[in-house]
Amino acid sequence: MPSPKQSLFSLHSAVLLFAFSGLFAKWLNMPASHIVFGRAFFAAIAIALFVVVIKKQSLKIEKSLLLPLSFTGLILAFHWGSFFYAIQVSSVAIGLITFASFPVFVSFLEPLLFKEKFHYQALIQALLTIIGILFILPLDNLSAGDVDGVTWGMVSALTFALLTLLNRKFVAKTSAKKVAFYQNTCATLCLLPIVFLYPITISFQQVSVLIILGVVFTALAHTLFNHSLKVIKAHTASIAISLEPIYGSIAAYFLLGEHITLMMIIGGTIVIFTNIWATRANH
């Protein structure tokens, strides 16, 4: 069993890797669908090698879980696709901050999926999130890309909230590594027709970057995150994920030269604190 310090290190390392994954949308000059295909494909291979070769464990699951996992794999593909596309048409900061609103969507969807009591504070949280997002938009010089970025960032948040809740509903008793393997495999298969219908020329360097994205920033990141949950409560981990937009925006500032305005900092702060409030309310 890892120590609390080791678990915290694993948790924040995972969040940092998750945050950096958004930068690949700018580094890889290809459609978002193809980036997600590469990410899911190499992540699935890495997870399979880790489980079967290193851990000497089986990847077999109950047949009853195949359909739910396939469905959640489709949602994962759509979530990643909308996330990368949001960043491509706008900025890393806009994509990450809008994605950070997913706990608010959880507040709305959880009562519907689990027949639990609806808390009206979710309406206030939704309003605060909208206010925060209006702050990050340059309203005096608004571009179509910024609007598209916010729209697809919110779609990314919605699909991630749905994925989180469906995982809780269908696959709570299954190994996290198995869930990750089947979801990444299904995401790969779902995107395969698009990759064949819209082929692109890809260099060895781009393949190398996709391998790094799939192995380090996806498979390793999820392994570290799941490892931390052996000691750290999911509630604490969810709050740590709120740091993702901060890590990602700082990285984009230094590595991509993206500009961060005072209004974006204010808007991001509103969204992140609303995120923490929603997470605490759902705990």
Q: What's the one-letter identity of residue 54?
A: I
The whole-number average pLDDT for the span 23-43 is 96
C-beta atoms surrounding 66 within 10 Å = 12
pLDDT of residue 1: 67
| Both tokens assigned to 93 | 């900061």
pLDDT of residue 171: 66
**Cα separations (Å) of 253 from 20, 246, 256, 260?**
12, 11, 6, 7
DSSP state of 117: P
CA 197 to chain centre: 26
- pLDDT-derived band at 204 (thresholds 50, 70, 90) equals very high
The whole-number average pLDDT for the span 65-94 is 94
264 in Cβ contact with 100 (< 8 Å): no
C-beta atoms surrounding 2 within 10 Å = 14
pLDDT of residue 172: 66
pLDDT of residue 159: 95
pLDDT of residue 235: 60
- pLDDT-derived band at 177 (thresholds 50, 70, 90) equals confident
40 in Cβ contact with 80 (< 8 Å): yes
- pLDDT-derived band at 168 (thresholds 50, 70, 90) equals confident
Of the spans 61-70, 179-188, 257-266, which averages the highest pLDDT?
Answer: 179-188
pLDDT of residue 279: 67
What is the Cα–Cα distance from 183 to 186, expressed in whole angstroms?
Answer: 5
What is the Cα–Cα distance from 225 to 244, expressed in whole angstroms?
Answer: 13
Which of these ranges, 27-36, 150-159, 173-182, has the smallest mean pLDDT?
173-182
pLDDT of residue 283: 52
Give the helix/strand (H/E) hosting 225: helix 221-228
This prediction has a pTM of 0.89
pLDDT of residue 281: 60
| Both tokens assigned to 180 | 């990750």
- Residue 282, pLDDT > 60, answer no
Q: Which of 248, 257, 264 is nearest to 138 (CA)?
A: 264
| Both tokens assigned to 150 | 């916010």
105 in Cβ contact with 158 (< 8 Å): yes
| Both tokens assigned to 171 | 């696959």
What is the Cα–Cα distance from 160 to 244, expressed in whole angstroms?
Answer: 14
Which of these ranges, 20-24, 125-129, 181-185, has the smallest mean pLDDT?
125-129
25 in Cβ contact with 217 (< 8 Å): no
240 in Cβ contact with 276 (< 8 Å): no
Q: Which of 200, 84, 208 is nearest to 148 (CA)?
A: 84
pLDDT of residue 28: 94
- Domain locations along the chain: 4-282
